[in-house]
Structure 1
Amino acid sequence: MTMPRDADATRARLLVAARDEFAAVGIAGARVDRIASAAVSNKAQIYHYFGSKDGLFDAVFDAMVVETLDDVAIDAADLPEYAGRLHDSYARRPWVQRLATWYRLERGDAHAPIDAVVRSNAGKLQAIEDAQRAGLVSSAFSAVELLGIVIHASALWSGAMPEYTELTDRLGPARRRAVVVASVAAICSAGSLPTAGAGRRAG
């Protein structure tokens, strides 16, 4: 009767151990024996639950996306505060940006899109478009542009180089969050972009 619970517990430990291993050294550098040891398990269990090291990374990444969605639901009517809450989530979970970086470096365009990410993006874009149609969000920027601004602004500090992080650490967490929120608010209230070449001198 306890086997399902034991299996779930083993799988959960493997996901946490794999998350830390992948975040530290990437996909190519990760070792299944280290993951198994950290999870108090064995390599056979990894292959049983996930099929391969790549399959394990996919499971870790999927879990991370779902966790982020559960942790920070989009509020398209208040994108600045949504960016602030995303910032808070990244600050609590530093492995998120590291895993995303390894994904970009080692998977890139050669890997099939992760369904959880595709669905997440589609849902967020729809929410922003609905808010724009309702007049709750400026239409100066497209939904795709606004989503990109929010995503990158919220990760402004967590995705920075260590040398820059040493400088921003002096600001303190409250100030860093305030900068993210204020930046997105300023962009959301800005007018439309100038047309190409508008700043060039005539003649």
Structure 2
Amino acid sequence: MVDKPLTSRGAATRDRIIEVATREFAEHGIAGARIERIVAAARTNKAQLYGYFGSKEGLFDAIFSASLDRIVDAVPISADLADWAVRLYDDYLERPDLVRLATWSRLERRPTGPLLADAEARNDHKLRAIAEAQEAGEVRPGDPFDLMTLVIAMSMAWSPVSNVYAASADEPGEDHDRRRALLRDAVRRAVLIEPS
């Protein structure tokens, strides 16, 4: 990827590429995504795309990284992990692209560890928040990473790629509020320490 500053026109083109490519990768995966469709919809050319991202994989990595950053900003962790789980669930329904991109990455790249090389740095503040809540007696003892992973997995129970049932933000159905309450209660019982 080129590190030189972008003009406003260049930044707009790069943003269009990211927007279009996010949809393309979320729908078709890494192998199924087509650069030709991306550049046509983004009204640019292959040379420009490769100049910004280096390769198709570089483009996917940039999109996936930006999606993870967005969810951290949109759904910051709190000591109330039950509330965090519900906010994650809501965001997954509103913007299912992150879950789909993560699923494609797992399916096509088959990573055995974290999805991104900088996952440890990305999760550091979350793990610190959980450790601080543990020290305050609000969250059960245990490995903060394992607790974070459990909460994230529970928040995806009805996500767009659930193995059981996928809800939609467009039509969350009458069960939406009931599911939110169930998720909040289940996470609370699994990881939080109720005050005496």
User: TM-score surpassing 0.5?
Assistant: yes
Q: Give the number of the structure whose alpha-carbon radius of gyration is greater.
A: 1
Q: 2:53 aligns with which of 39, 42, 50?
A: 50
CA RMSD of aligned residues (A): 2.4
Higher helix proportion (structure 1 or 2): 1
Tell me the number of residue pairs that the alignment of Structure 1 and Structure 2 aligns. Answer: 185
8 Å CA contact 2:53, 2:59 repeated in 1: yes
SS of 1:165's equivalent? Answer: coil
Deviation string for 1:49-80 (max 9, x for gaps)? 001100000100110011011101110x2000
Cα drift, residue 178 of structure 1: 1.8
Aligned-partner Cα distance in 2 for 1:111–1:71:
25
Cα drift, residue 117 of structure 1: 2.9
8 Å CA contact 1:62, 1:116 repeated in 2: no
Correspondence 1:1-203 to 2 at 5 A = 4-75=7-78, 77-109=79-111, 114-139=116-141, 141-158=142-159, 159-161=161-163, 164-165=165-166, 170-189=173-192
> Given the superposition, is the C-alpha separation of residues 115 and 176 from structure 1 closer, same or farther in structure 2, using an over 3 Å criterion?
same
* Segment of structure 1 superposing worse, 106-115 or 80-89: 106-115
8 Å CA contact 2:138, 2:192 repeated in 1: no
Cα drift, residue 172 of structure 1: 3.0
8 Å CA contact 2:89, 2:156 repeated in 1: yes
Cα drift, residue 181 of structure 1: 1.2
Partner of 1:198: none
Aligned-partner Cα distance in 2 for 1:172–1:32:
39
Cα drift, residue 188 of structure 1: 2.0
Q: TM-score, normalised by structure 1?
A: 0.82
